[in-house]
Structure 1
């Protein structure tokens, strides 16, 4: 069996809009009320997947959720023709496109039974995301249905907030080697909520059958949360034996780094000093919400959003880093502006799973030909633009639901409708 890292990208749904639902997410609140472009957003996501395929990286997909979420609205006692304006934006939210929040994934080399364990996130902190988990669970149970190789768990009880892989990192000598799993939780963030609860992280570690001696629980910096780093992946990302982080990412940085080095002697830390790149510039550019990937030749590349190149302090630091003798020597730039404007960069759009592709349902894996067909479907079915007031239009409801049906039919995944 050959295990590799597969990035499963969330396809941006046809209801993509800017309703400013995410408190603490600077981009989301700043762009509230703006006109969104669902078709362009989804095609940007397809282009990002093409970029990664061209690098020789395996690529998968996760599909848009039912929107508006009629089951959720029914449970709240509303009728399709009389949805309160206070509930409508949450019912239409396309935030499931940020697959990094779908679940926490622990690869087989780290788990007690030698299977890849996947625990779906409850996302209970934000109302618009709290109703995502049933559809996520259905997809993951189908994509990873081979119980010889995978165990998919429902969310931890909503008493404790869990936001998935966006607050989880893994370091290892290689993807198929035993690793150190790191759960980053929040304490306080000033006016903003800390979304990841330490008890949720501990529960996920137990469900995923991790070795306690190779599992760390680390507090995210309060300063980072207060500055708008609503998830750890806005200020840190890990891959292989490399941790790439902002100097102000963690509350007790020296103790964390010392514990990591004891567990993984080959660890390399690439730290961006606050004196060179401020937290504000890092968060605005989504420097760390990048995909840090291992290429087929064993080298590492950092795939950043276009906003990183447009932020002078960030791009100057990145160019100097890539020209040096460190482990990250290659930079890639992708355009995901529609996602960025709603508060999610390249890393938000993907869930990383280390597995043998042959053990995954092939309907969730893509190549160039399948991406061509997906792009054609998006171009013909997705709305061109949506402003928040449009969400009350029944014709738009029908257009969004038809677009999703068309995509599922194309991918032979009607069972998820």
Structure 2
């Protein structure tokens, strides 16, 4: 069975707006109340997918969750018409675009039953994200429906917070070989909440039937959380045998020795705080990048434009490339609308190692499909949403109609 890494990107939803709902996400707070550009945001996301295809990578998609989430508001005893402004904003969030929080994924080579296991994230810490999981779970069950190859699990009980693959890394010689899975959790974050609980990490590892000897639980540093690294993927990312991390990402780095012992050819690429201060790493989303293996075997880092615009970050990248380190290329993408709400290139995608032939083809894309979707976005996505627009019934209907048009184009009407 040919196993490859597939990046499933969330299509930016038509209600993309800057309500500043995410405590601890500095970009989200900084841009709260600004006018957003949903059409531009979605087109940026589609163009990032296109760039990945042209690099020779397998590419998939997830669709936006229902918005406004009328069912969630009904469970709270209200409606989009009657809800208070903050509650209405939570129901209108487009945050399901950040597919890195959709689920935690353990590929088949790592699991006892040799199936790929996926656990949908409960996202219980933030109200605007806590109602995403039913829509996400429905998509996972469609995309990965083959019971002989996949096991799709519901959310961890909400006593424990789980925010998905943004706090999970995998190291391996090659994607299709057995690996070591790293679950990163928080215990304290100063003024900000630690969103990933150790208990959730351990529950997922048991569900996924992982080898305890090849499963590591790593604490994120309080310093990183307090500085705005609300998920581990803001300060660290792994790909195959390489762990790319900021010096201040983890509370205790002793786990690195274990990785070196378990993963053939393991290499830590650590960025010193003296060269890239934590504040610059977080502002630029240097680590919230896609670290990928290209068809020729070389590794490339896909970074946002903000990384090139941050002198310390771009200087470090240039020095690393000149040193012939394991990262051989840097690709720059424009996802400014997502970045303004606190999500970089890595936030927008969920990595799944699988055989593409076993994935529902409606969730896979090629250039022609992306052309079709770009045309649909141009026709149906709002051009601009200001804060006051969230109270406008015309916007609610426009957003719902746009999603229905997307589902029809993808033949995914069962998700309506």
Report TM bin, short chain: over 0.9
Decide whether the 8 Å contact of 1:31 with 1:341 is kept in 2. yes
Decide whether the 8 Å contact of 1:89 with 1:388 is kept in 2. no
Cα deviation code 1:345-388 (max 9, x no counterpart): 00000000000000000000000000000000000000000012
Offset, 1:259: 1.7
Is 1:297 matched up with 2:296? yes
Match of 1:83 in 2: 83
Alignment TM-score, normalising by the size of structure 1: 0.99
Offset, 1:256: 1.6
Decide whether the 8 Å contact of 1:227 with 1:279 is kept in 2. yes
Decide whether the 8 Å contact of 1:291 with 1:302 is kept in 2. yes
Match of 1:207 in 2: 207
Offset, 1:81: 2.4
Is 1:319 matched up with 2:318? yes
Secondary structure of residue in 1 paired with 2:210? coil
Match of 1:230 in 2: 230
Secondary structure of residue in 2 paired with 1:87? helix
- In structure 2, distance between residues paired with 1:204 and 1:217: 12
Match of 1:269 in 2: 268
Match of 1:67 in 2: 67
Secondary structure of residue in 1 paired with 2:27? helix
Between 84-93 and 48-57, report the one with greater CA deviation.
84-93
Is 1:401 matched up with 2:397? no
CA RMSD in angstroms comes to 0.6
Match of 1:111 in 2: 111
Offset, 1:67: 0.2
Match of 1:381 in 2: 380
Match of 1:392 in 2: 391
Cα deviation code 1:38-75 (max 9, x no counterpart): 00000000000010000000000000010000000000
Is 1:5 matched up with 2:16? no
- In structure 1, distance between residues paired with 2:252 and 2:370: 43
- In structure 2, distance between residues paired with 1:122 and 1:389: 29
Decide whether the 8 Å contact of 2:241 with 2:264 is kept in 1. no
Superposition pairs of residues 44-193 of structure 1, within 5 angstroms: 44-193=44-193
Secondary structure of residue in 2 paired with 1:86? helix
Alignment TM-score, normalising by the size of structure 2: 0.99
- In structure 2, distance between residues paired with 1:80 and 1:240: 45
Match of 2:286 in 1: 287
Offset, 1:106: 0.2
Secondary structure of residue in 1 paired with 2:318? helix
Offset, 1:322: 1.2
Decide whether the 8 Å contact of 1:16 with 1:94 is kept in 2. yes
Offset, 1:83: 1.6
Offset, 1:201: 0.3
Match of 1:336 in 2: 335
Cα deviation code 1:272-324 (max 9, x no counterpart): 00000000000000000000000000110000000000000000100111121
- In structure 1, distance between residues paired with 2:255 and 2:277: 21
Offset, 1:82: 1.1
The runs of at least 4 consecutive aligned structure 1 residues that moved more than 3 Å come to none
Decide whether the 8 Å contact of 2:80 with 2:88 is kept in 1. no
Decide whether the 8 Å contact of 1:6 with 1:57 is kept in 2. yes
- In structure 1, distance between residues paired with 2:396 and 2:178: 47
Offset, 1:168: 0.1
Between 73-82 and 3-12, report the one with greater CA deviation.
73-82
Offset, 1:257: 1.1
Decide whether the 8 Å contact of 2:8 with 2:61 is kept in 1. yes
Offset, 1:175: 0.3
- In structure 2, distance between residues paired with 1:165 and 1:310: 27
Cα deviation code 1:374-403 (max 9, x no counterpart): 000000000000012111100000000000
Number of paired residues?
Answer: 416
- In structure 2, distance between residues paired with 1:369 and 1:80: 36
- In structure 2, distance between residues paired with 1:333 and 1:86: 35
Secondary structure of residue in 1 paired with 2:189? coil
Cα deviation code 1:126-161 (max 9, x no counterpart): 010000000000000000001110000000100000
